[in-house]
Structure 1
Amino acid sequence: MFAPENSSAGSLSRELRQLREELWGPILPHERRLWSNALLDNPPTDLNINGKLQNMQLYDRDGIVMNRLWVAVARYWDDRGLTAYEWLLQRTTLVDIAEYKRNLDRNQEPTDPWDDCTEQERREWTTATLRFPPQFLGATVMGLHNNHARKTGMTNSKTWIDLALEFRAAGFTPEEFVVLNTHVRKFHKRDHTNTLITTTWGLRNIQYVRLDAQQWTHWLERYRAGEDSVELTKGLLEPHWISTAPQTGQ
């Protein structure tokens, strides 16, 4: 969920602009929009019908929510030095929440989730997993995660890193991971599932292909032996298709 691109502060009345400044205080306009997106994707409180209408009417006009309790959440964490993105990290599967909180309490840096990967490997695996993400975590989280990863060159998502390390441990390079995932998606059959095409379910019941590396080590051996990647993938998938179409009467 992203803020309207053509928003304008002038579209709000003087009273609303003044109220907004009182509510949001020192948080800058750009950060207010990031916080608004984060709060809408992860509501800190339930709203009644009128509250939802008021919140969204103002959001649609200016990209900034105006619910007092919601803004109070943003102010609380902003005062403690957390950005909207870091707040989302604590509320989703992007990092291990328990570990994140323990390290905050101890004022320590979290354990390096990349293990012994070199910086170059981290960057290459980040690029690869951004093309084929393992899970959908909501529009705001995905957008913030992807922007952060592209800007820094490295993902800080535990879910994405776990995917990279799993395929790395199975012997894949980032390039081979991309080739495999590209071809697997070419052969999707309508009204069919495939036991080799494993998936995950994310927010709003959005399903993502998330392959199991160990199921594809034979593919890797044959691909490296020189077999055509398209025909190889098609041949390995073929025996495993299962029809999910409703059975019709005879």
Structure 2
Amino acid sequence: MSAPEKIPSTTWHEKEPISRELRLLREELWGPIPPRERIQWSNALLDNPPTELSIMGKLQNTQLLHRDGIVMNRQWVAVARYWDDLGITAYEWLLQKGTLASNTPENTTPEEDPWGDCTEEERRAWTAATLRFPPMFLGATVMGLHDKHAKQTGITNSKGWIDLALEFRDAGFTPEEFIELNTQVRKFRKRGQRNTMITTTWGNLNKEYVRLKAQQWTNWLERYRAGDEPLALTEELLSPHWISQ
């Protein structure tokens, strides 16, 4: 028996050429926006869809998305073109959508500062802690832009992240204790099992993230500071709260 004929396959690094018609259409739609910024805008628009699309519309919109990461819906691209013409970047557009909270000195008064009375040192320490254990999933673009901004500036500007930090700070936790608690809790979380102490949030694309409630863990904090071994302590406190499924 002869060997089966090998059928050429196209992988991510062997992409089929884009047709001339599609290239021209893409240039017409996106105009002066550079290729890198087209991808940023495409992801921002996917995270915050300007319009609902039919099944056919979704197919047409993503004909280049899975190849080059660029959407092709005229209405969606028009949104990007409109804000780009005003000098607004995809990241700044996401800020305006309310996903992120601008906390730059020129845009925020002391009364409006989402960090309240936290010192700069505390803000940086809590930012590093919440980057390790984010409270929710906001979509790939928002998460990427947020993390890049937080790492560059040292201070997060996401309201959800700030709220998480302040909640645990107000309950008496330090950033290091927040990290220790979250590290231990995740050792016991398993797929298909539920525990009322391991609270979660549901973000974009139905992604579930562990998002603990600080007040439920103040006893853990007291005993941890008293010298209890953290792994055994966490297991003991979780034990009565498992839900049979």
Structure 2 residue 131 is matched with structure 1 residue 130? yes
Query: CA 1:193/1:92 → structure 2, altered by over 3 Å: closer, same or farther?
Result: farther
- Which region of structure 1 is more displaced relative to structure 2, 81-90 or 203-212? 81-90
Residue of structure 1 equivalent to 2:28 = 22
Residue of structure 1 equivalent to 2:168 = 167
Residue of structure 1 equivalent to 2:182 = 181
Q: Distance in 1 between matches of 2:159 and 2:186?
A: 24
Q: Distance in 2 between matches of 1:162 and 1:41?
A: 22
Q: Distance in 2 between matches of 1:193 and 1:237?
A: 10
Q: Distance in 1 between matches of 2:122 and 2:135?
A: 18
Q: Distance in 1 between matches of 2:166 and 2:91?
A: 24
Give the C-alpha shift of residue 163 in structure 1. 0.2
1:45 partner letter? T
Query: RMSD between aligned alpha carbons?
Result: 2.6
Secondary structure of the 1:11 match is coil
Secondary structure of the 2:201 match is strand
Residue of structure 1 equivalent to 2:7 = none
Give the unaligned 5+ runs of structure 2: 1-10
Query: CA 1:82/1:5 → structure 2, altered by over 3 Å: closer, same or farther?
Result: farther
TM-score (ref. length: structure 1): 0.82
Query: CA 1:176/1:108 → structure 2, altered by over 3 Å: closer, same or farther?
Result: closer
Structure 2 residue 47 is matched with structure 1 residue 41? yes
Aligned structure 1 segments of 4 or more residues deviating by more than 6 angstroms: none
Q: Distance in 2 between matches of 1:132 and 1:91?
A: 24
1:1-250 to 2 correspondence within 5 Å? 11-91=17-97, 93-95=99-101, 108-109=107-108, 111-189=112-190, 191-243=192-244, 245=245
Higher helix proportion, which one?
1
For 1:89-123, what per-residue CA distance to the aligned partner results, in whole angstroms no more than 9, with x for missing partners? 3435434xxxx7xx9xxx95462211121222111
Identity across matched positions, percent: 71
2:94 partner letter? L
Give the C-alpha shift of residue 57 in structure 1. 1.7
Q: Distance in 2 between matches of 1:119 and 1:141?
A: 24
Q: Distance in 2 between matches of 1:116 and 1:7?
A: 54
Give the C-alpha shift of residue 160 in structure 1. 0.4
Query: CA 1:78/1:223 → structure 2, altered by over 3 Å: closer, same or farther?
Result: same
Corresponding residue pairs, total: 231
The answer to whether the Cα contact below 8 Å between 1:201 and 1:207 also exists between their aligned partners in 2 is yes
The answer to whether the Cα contact below 8 Å between 2:63 and 2:72 also exists between their aligned partners in 1 is no
Give the C-alpha shift of residue 158 in structure 1. 0.2
Query: CA 1:66/1:190 → structure 2, altered by over 3 Å: closer, same or farther?
Result: closer
Residue of structure 2 equivalent to 1:248 = none
Q: Distance in 2 between matches of 1:31 and 1:162?
A: 30
2:35 partner letter? P
- Which region of structure 1 is more displaced relative to structure 2, 13-22 or 156-165? 13-22
Q: Distance in 2 between matches of 1:22 and 1:7?
A: 26
Q: Distance in 2 between matches of 1:154 and 1:182?
A: 22
